[in-house]
Amino acid sequence: MMFVRIIVGLTGLALVVMTVVAAVKTFVLPRGVNVWLTQTIFHGINKLFRLRAKKAKSYEEVDRVMAMYAPLALVMMPA
């Protein structure tokens, strides 16, 4: 049982460290650095928004749907 707790604790610590490193690379570094976590979140949310935008009947509706893309993607970042 103690072994499982140690493994779970180390896994949690690794996830926290990966998240902090991804946040620093994404938001702090002055040049663009591709971070796997950031790309995965933004691409996944983009696909969902594009599926919804395809059903729009007018440009205004597409614009209204896509206007929430970037704010929602930033909120979904685990940092």
Q: What pLDDT, in 10s, does the model give residues 42-71?
A: 899 999 999 999 998 999 999 999 999 989
pLDDT of amino acid 3: 93
Is 22 exposed, middle or buried (CB count within 10 Å of its CB: 0-12, 13-18, 19+)? buried
> Band of the pLDDT at 78, cuts 50, 70, 90?
low
Rg of the chain over Cα atoms, rounded to whole angstroms, equals: 17
- CB 42, CB 70: distance < 8 Å: no
pTM equals 0.61
**Average pLDDT estimate for 25-36:** 77
**Average pLDDT estimate for 24-44:** 81
Q: Quick one: what percent of the chain has pLDDT higher than 90?
A: 51
